Amino acid sequence: MNNGTLTGGQALVRLLANYGVDTVFGIPGVHTLELYRGLPGSGIRHVLTRHEQGAGFMADGYARVSGKPGVCFVITGPGVTNAATAIGQAYADSIPMLVISSVNHTASLGKGWGCLHETQDQRAMTAPITAFSAVALRAEDLPELIARAYAVFDSERPRPVHISVPLDVLSAPVARDWSAEVVRRPGRGPASAHSLDAAASKLAKAKRPMIIAGGGALHAAAELQQMSTQLAAPFFTSVAGKGLAGLNAPLNAGSSLCVQPGWDLIAEADVVVAVGTEMADTDFWRERLPLNGELLRVDIDPRKFNDFYPCAVALHGDAQQTVAALLERLPASPRDADAAHAAVAKLRKAVDASHGPLQVLHQHILQRIAAVLPDNAFISTDMTQLAYTGNYAFDSRAPRSWLHPTGYGTLGYGLPAGIGGMFASADRPGLVLVGDGGFLYTAQELATAVEELDRPLVVLLWNNDALGQIRDDMLSLDIEPIGVLPRNPDFAGLGRAFGCSVAQPQSLDELQRDLRSGFARKGVTLIELKHACAR
């Protein structure tokens, strides 16, 4: 358009910029050209990914590190289905993500004309894995739908939103310029006074209170740490909540509710406060936690109060505001914490003592990582045995510093999510922990990393030349291993082909040296650690 009138696509991009969007992940295609017309001069950085699934995972990683919604642009049909796995992962882990896609011309929708990229009902494909999926049949629908998306991000349990925009809506001039019509109405507040009083009464009488906090409590670290101290309550987190309890806090029980010592300790609680966590079996590695005391739940999602773990008191509200209001109702003087400190110290020793040979090997690697990891670094992990051990055995220094695809459990997450996390700040370096199997799901995104990044991103490839967890599961069930010993490529050669710096340490000492060098180098370093070299 040369007459100064905005197309729907241009106006939408301007609207996103006015909502504070600074980065968009995607791949331009014939069906998204009008979105790309709007990007120059918008102030939004576009990051070219090499697959739409990578765009979704990068948006996820951006959101987890920044706390802001991650945004991606994808084309009609195959772009949406390629991104669907990433959307599903974000849905399972309550990550705010805005997926903007094109869809065929409005006149053709649902008619089966055989248009390019046509699907029978694109909206229906993403509806089960989004907070909502909608089609903007007019350009004037877009400001309302974007406002609705941000209402989800600001006020509800944050989950992905998918908005499809027909080609004719993207290309037609808008009747009026609505690109500055930003509506932000955060609706979160504290739980009701009645529920706060009831919860405070139970906590005041509790002899052995304990806390479990998850990804919904990431903005409540200070309040939760204070509550833990005042109540002398051991403080567990889910994997999504890693870093909330304070690195060296004597009541920090870590993410140990997936191993026997953690189960044993939580069973002793007479009152458990669960804050911003869905309490899923993917965090606990067992069907049900042995909760013998009363459960108080703080959650923004009212559906959590009567699910697998019904609660004695339901505190429906924002985690930070609700915990702060609880603190006002609790005795100000901290309880004697000697017994609780001793119980947590015993837990940590028991966790270390419970490691099998493989977990001991992992722990040695994780210790080398901890020794050289920059203080402000974040770690993005894939579905790999090294990360499974790290989920409970590695202590995060702060929230938003350990990214793991917990709920959906998809392979291929670690690398693109780590790349996305790099765009969430101006100075944080990143580390990716990925196995050889998961790496090959999204290895092409190394091209994006090398092209875009001028800060340290270290990719630690744990290569055991196997789908190790599945092989071990088959053996434990007396199933002859099939399809778990793939022929791998030359990973070092692959890394060099993409333009990475490459290292292949032959010992743990060399690994630590190569990690230190990687964090001192601008750009991408691929470190391939063979299983045999880590022994």
The 10s digit of each residue's pLDDT in 67-96 is 999 999 999 999 999 999 999 999 999 999
Q: How confident is the model at residue 112 (pLDDT cuts 50, 70, 90)?
A: confident
- Other beta carbons within 10 angstroms of residue 178's beta carbon come to 18
Paired tokens of 424:
């969430």
Q: Which helix (H) or strand (E) holds 133?
A: strand 132-135
* Percent of the chain surpassing pLDDT 70: 99
pLDDT of residue 2: 46
Closest alpha carbon to 326 in 187, 197, 202: 197
Mean pLDDT of 12-33: 96
pLDDT of residue 106: 83
- Other beta carbons within 10 angstroms of residue 30's beta carbon come to 11
Give Cα separations from 119 to 77, 131, 160, 481 (angstroms): 6, 21, 21, 38
Does residue 65 surpass a pLDDT of 60? yes
Mean pLDDT of 366-373: 98
- On whether the 193-350 domain is CATH 3.40.50.1220, my answer is yes
pLDDT of residue 110: 81
Q: What is the pLDDT of residues 232-268, one digit of tens each?
A: 999 999 999 999 998 899 999 999 999 999 999 999 9
Its pTM stands at 0.96
Paired tokens of 24:
């968009």
Paired tokens of 309:
């773990």
Mean pLDDT of 279-293: 93
pLDDT of residue 126: 97
pLDDT of residue 46: 98
- On whether the 8-171 domain is CATH 3.40.50.970, my answer is yes
pLDDT of residue 480: 93
DSSP conformation class of 337: -
Give residues with Cβ within 8 angstroms of 31, minimum separation 6. Answer: 75, 76, 79, 102, 116, 117, 167
Does residue 535 surpass a pLDDT of 90? no
8 A C-beta contact, residue 56 and residue 79: no
Angle at 351 between CA 350 and CA 352, to 5 degrees: 90
Closest alpha carbon to 315 in 335, 300, 334, 327: 300
Q: What is the pLDDT of residues 131-151, one digit of tens each?
A: 999 999 999 999 999 999 999
> Would strands 97-103 and 161-166 be described as parallel, antiparallel, or unpaired?
parallel
Least confident of 16-30, 45-59, 178-192: 178-192
pLDDT of residue 353: 94
Place of tokens 């002899």: 207
Q: What is the pLDDT of residues 149-195, one digit of tens each?
A: 999 999 999 999 999 999 999 999 999 999 999 999 878 999 999 99
Q: How confident is the model at residue 3 (pLDDT cuts 50, 70, 90)?
A: low
Q: Do domains 8-171 and 193-350 have the same CATH topology?
A: yes
* Percent of the chain surpassing pLDDT 90: 89
- Other beta carbons within 10 angstroms of residue 412's beta carbon come to 26
Q: How confident is the model at residue 1 (pLDDT cuts 50, 70, 90)?
A: very low
Does residue 467 surpass a pLDDT of 90? no
- Other beta carbons within 10 angstroms of residue 396's beta carbon come to 21
Give Cα separations from 492 to 417, 460, 514, 531 (angstroms): 21, 12, 14, 15
Three-state SS string over 242-301 comes to: CCCCCCCCCCEEECCCCCHHHHHHHCCCCEEEEECCCCCHHHHCCCCCCCCCEEEEEECC
User: What is the distance between the alpha carbons of residues 263 and 256, in angstroms, rounded to a whole number?
Assistant: 8
Paired tokens of 189:
């507040």
User: What is the distance between the alpha carbons of residues 476 and 468, in angstroms, rounded to a whole number?
Assistant: 12
**Domain range 355-534, its CATH number among 2.40.10.10, 1.20.1640.10, 3.30.310.50, 3.40.50.970:** 3.40.50.970
pLDDT of residue 111: 81
Closest alpha carbon to 269 in 297, 235, 293: 293
Q: What is the mean pLDDT of the chain?
A: 95
Give Cα separations from 327 to 196, 197, 243, 322, 333 (angstroms): 10, 11, 21, 9, 11
User: What is the distance between the alpha carbons of residues 283 and 257, in angstroms, rounded to a whole number?
Assistant: 7
The residues spanned by each domain of the chain are 8-171, 193-350, 355-534
Q: Where are the alpha helices (DSSP H) in 396-490?
A: 414-422, 436-442, 446-452, 468-476
User: What is the distance between the alpha carbons of residues 212 and 297, in angstroms, rounded to a whole number?
Assistant: 9
Paired tokens of 64:
């987890």
pLDDT of residue 187: 81
pLDDT of residue 113: 85
- Other beta carbons within 10 angstroms of residue 276's beta carbon come to 32
Three-state DSSP at 466 gives coil
Q: What is the pLDDT of residues 380-436, one digit of tens each?
A: 999 999 999 999 999 999 999 999 999 999 999 999 999 999 999 999 999 999 999
